[in-house]
Structure 1
């Protein structure tokens, strides 16, 4: 980010616009000191200080000190300003109209053409800034802005000083004046947007950046910050549109494509969470009934198994009527069958209750919402993979694209494994092995991306993930699961 982007700008400013040679003529400075002492003494003289001519002369003296001899008085511009105001106050005709001196002073105070008071304030403000007197510098720059309302120089430097002092409101006001008066420096628009962003005023931040883009249409920093602020404000869809435009305008810029993939990746994760939430919500009614029915079916499957065991053990007992172990086995199986029979009765009640609860729900509406979330989930998944791979076409060694794509496939495998974990005995017997094969396939698909990521950049996170992944694949191999890559 560019939090302190203004500092170098002001230090470069120096006093180039107003500076003389390295050493100001000593005689001139001595003259300023002498004239200043006399003017300061006369300012306390009631007779001299009652004349507008005195104040006009004093104003011009201090203005020249500010422009040519700041070592005599580092705040001479302020004294000049007050003296010019005094001229306007005193030089009034009998008709109540401004006199000649008053008109001249008013022209200076308004920053009229050819006048120098504005420059005097800017120069002494810059000197104070370079001496690290930020408060003094800000005072000077604000006074300069008051003299010339249409200038961009004092508003720029006033904003810089205010920002350094963490006076955000003053900084915003100064930078707004800069932009309103036609200032074009993109870093100012960027910095002003950051000030608004820090207040969560995202709309104003975006508006500021767009104004900057009018002045600098091709500026990549401003365009990228629009995306960042849209994301910070929760406008993910709009951020994606902006970033897609950036990627289209600069198709060889790998970072734009990677960032776009990451946005879609984030959208996929958000959509996945939404699918889980909606599934859980639906599970309170119709899906709860389905879950209860599955549990009931599983218990009934157990009864069939127990009946088979009872039949088998009973046949053995007929042949070995004195075998105590067989009698114990029969007793255990009979007890377990009784437990399952009692569980079945309980589950039948849960099924009935869940079915009744589902009647009061908008099943169709819930299913529609869930279908929409799943569609968004799939679209985001496809777009994320597409853009990660597009980034790798541009730069096959891009670490972020390699690592994130590996993580993407790894997480997909974990989610799919959740299906296997939630299967009952019957479901697992029907399709458990096939799904496990697909789970293994997705884990295997992630492996080359982690390996290439490590080759591109020796990072611990990629190494740790690859170690975990290899351990998972070894477990599948030990179980004899054939990996099915899709």
Structure 2
């Protein structure tokens, strides 16, 4: 993920703070004296009732702010309030705005020829440089009140808010920058990251698309759309976006690697889902069949018990005083009763299993299974194709080499599962042939792990290579011929 801070220093020439040493000492002293006098006169009812006093105070504090001196680091705020007092007090007898009021209004609206907006931005930049981020944010926000169409203050306000981890303020500031016509692609990227952090994926993608309207060829914005689609679970859309990127920039190795991995992941998930659906399709029928089998077995016991009862009863007729025969008859009769009760239970279970099997939407599941198999086959093919394109451009690309090795390794493991599930008869019929193909898959994985180890000394590749070599030795010991 890219770092989200956009600019590091706020050092534009027009806003750089001058050191106090660079100012005329007499000017600084004069600012201090004028400030003290103005602050004192605020409490004078006569002075504070005059629009002219507030206009002088507004311009004084505006000049202090623009001078870059340390006389008052928040002078722009005082100038703002003073201009507002001018507008309040300078009214004609008809209640209309006077000359000073109109001039103050222009300053408050950041019109051409006025300096209040620049005063806020300058003092905001100074606070930022002094690491007073909260103060900087406040100044940039007030600057935007003065000039609602500007992008500079919104940009820097967003940066300060983001470093303060005030995400809502950052989003507001960056959105204002964009809405006012800002074009910096890093702002669109960063705002999208903020939305992504809130899991507002649609808003994030909308922001990135707006950025692409301003910067159509920006690769970072395009790549981030793919990342957000993946984060939001929209893998098919991510594949479509990344495919477009690889088409427009076919020699971009990383895009090809990412596309291959997407297809690889799709193949893995589809394979697992296919297994689950096969189990689901078979489980209902198997359960019903097992229940019916158990029922028939229990009914068979009753027949056996009936035969025994008949046999023992005949013997008792011949030997009416034989206590052992009577005991045997009682024992068998009791077991028959247990079997009859068990049959009743099993009949209920068999009926429920049969109904459950009948209610399973086999047609729907079979359709889903067929679709999944087609998706899995396509993803498998595309993954291999994309990995091989990577290796055509960069033969030692570790990710492509290692992932191709894992791909064939997993295919071998999956195929081996078929052998493990065979009974003796099935194994005698086709076990050796399937094992040959299993061996072939492991053999196919081996050179990719070898090249991956050569490209980068990673333990995962070395461990997998060791496993493959061990398995191949076992097959050789069993006399299995590897078949691809």
Could you state the TM-score of these two structures normalised by the residue count of structure 1? 0.85
Shift of 1:25: 1.5
Matches within 5 A, 1:224-235: 224-235=223-234
Shift of 1:110: 0.4
* Mapped partners of 1:292, 1:194: distance in 2: 56
Shift of 1:391: 0.6
* Mapped partners of 2:288, 2:468: distance in 1: 37
Residues 351-395 of structure 1: CA deviation (Å, up to 9, x unaligned)? 999777533333222222111111111111111011001111111
Cα gap change, 1:18 to 1:449, in 2 (>3 Å): closer
The answer to whether 1:128 aligns with 2:112 is no
Query: Which residue of the partner structure matches residue 95 of structure 2?
Result: 96
Q: Is the 8 A contact 1:440 1:483 kept in 2?
A: yes
Matches within 5 A, 1:167-246: 167-246=166-245
Shift of 1:286: 3.6
Matches within 5 A, 1:293-442: 358-442=357-441
Aligned length: 431
Q: Is the 8 A contact 1:282 1:288 kept in 2?
A: no
Q: Is the 8 A contact 2:409 2:441 kept in 1?
A: yes
Cα gap change, 1:290 to 1:254, in 2 (>3 Å): farther
Q: Is the 8 A contact 2:270 2:372 kept in 1?
A: yes
Residues 317-366 of structure 1: CA deviation (Å, up to 9, x unaligned)? xxxxxxxxxxxxxxxxxxxxxxxxxxxxx9xx999997775333332222
* Mapped partners of 2:58, 2:197: distance in 1: 42
Query: Which residue of the partner structure matches residue 76 of structure 1?
Result: 75
Q: Is the 8 A contact 2:195 2:203 kept in 1?
A: yes
Matches within 5 A, 1:129-168: 129-168=128-167
Cα gap change, 1:143 to 1:110, in 2 (>3 Å): same
Q: Is the 8 A contact 1:286 1:363 kept in 2?
A: no
Q: Is the 8 A contact 1:454 1:462 kept in 2?
A: yes
Query: Which residue of the partner structure matches residue 2 of structure 1?
Result: 2
Query: Which residue of the partner structure matches residue 255 of structure 2?
Result: 256
Cα gap change, 1:59 to 1:430, in 2 (>3 Å): same
The answer to whether 1:13 aligns with 2:8 is no
Q: Is the 8 A contact 2:10 2:125 kept in 1?
A: no
* Mapped partners of 1:4, 1:362: distance in 2: 50
Residues 445-465 of structure 1: CA deviation (Å, up to 9, x unaligned)? 000000000111111110011
Shift of 1:205: 0.1
**What secondary structure, in the 3-state scheme, does the structure 2 residue paired with 1:13 have?**
coil
Q: Which moved more, 1:378-387 or 1:363-372?
A: 363-372
Shift of 1:41: 1.0
Q: Is the 8 A contact 1:84 1:106 kept in 2?
A: yes
**What secondary structure, in the 3-state scheme, does the structure 1 residue paired with 2:422 have?**
coil
Q: Is the 8 A contact 1:29 1:69 kept in 2?
A: no
Q: Is the 8 A contact 2:267 2:380 kept in 1?
A: yes
Residues 269-323 of structure 1: CA deviation (Å, up to 9, x unaligned)? 1111211111121122246679999xxxxxxxxxxxxxxxxxxxxxxxxxxxxxx
**What secondary structure, in the 3-state scheme, does the structure 2 residue paired with 1:461 have?**
helix
Query: Which residue of the partner structure matches residue 337 of structure 1?
Result: none
Query: Which residue of the partner structure matches residue 296 of structure 1?
Result: none
Cα gap change, 1:353 to 1:441, in 2 (>3 Å): farther
Q: Is the 8 A contact 2:51 2:85 kept in 1?
A: yes
Shift of 1:14: 4.9
* Mapped partners of 2:402, 2:350: distance in 1: 46
* Mapped partners of 2:394, 2:206: distance in 1: 34
Shift of 1:69: 3.8
**What secondary structure, in the 3-state scheme, does the structure 1 residue paired with 2:22 have?**
coil
Q: Is the 8 A contact 2:270 2:373 kept in 1?
A: yes
The answer to whether 1:64 aligns with 2:63 is yes
Query: Which residue of the partner structure matches residue 312 of structure 1?
Result: none
* Mapped partners of 1:352, 1:285: distance in 2: 12
* Mapped partners of 1:152, 1:288: distance in 2: 69
* Mapped partners of 1:378, 1:40: distance in 2: 80
* Mapped partners of 2:290, 2:282: distance in 1: 8
Query: Which residue of the partner structure matches residue 295 of structure 2?
Result: none
Deviating runs (4+, > 6 A) in structure 1?
A: 289-293, 349-356
Listed as ranges, the gaps of 5+ residues in structure 1 are 294-345
Q: Is the 8 A contact 1:15 1:127 kept in 2?
A: no
Shift of 1:478: 1.0
Cα gap change, 1:18 to 1:356, in 2 (>3 Å): closer
**What secondary structure, in the 3-state scheme, does the structure 1 residue paired with 2:6 have?**
helix
Aligned CA-pair RMSD: 2.3
Q: Is the 8 A contact 2:76 2:120 kept in 1?
A: yes
* Mapped partners of 1:436, 1:356: distance in 2: 39
Q: Is the 8 A contact 1:14 1:127 kept in 2?
A: no
Cα gap change, 1:26 to 1:139, in 2 (>3 Å): same
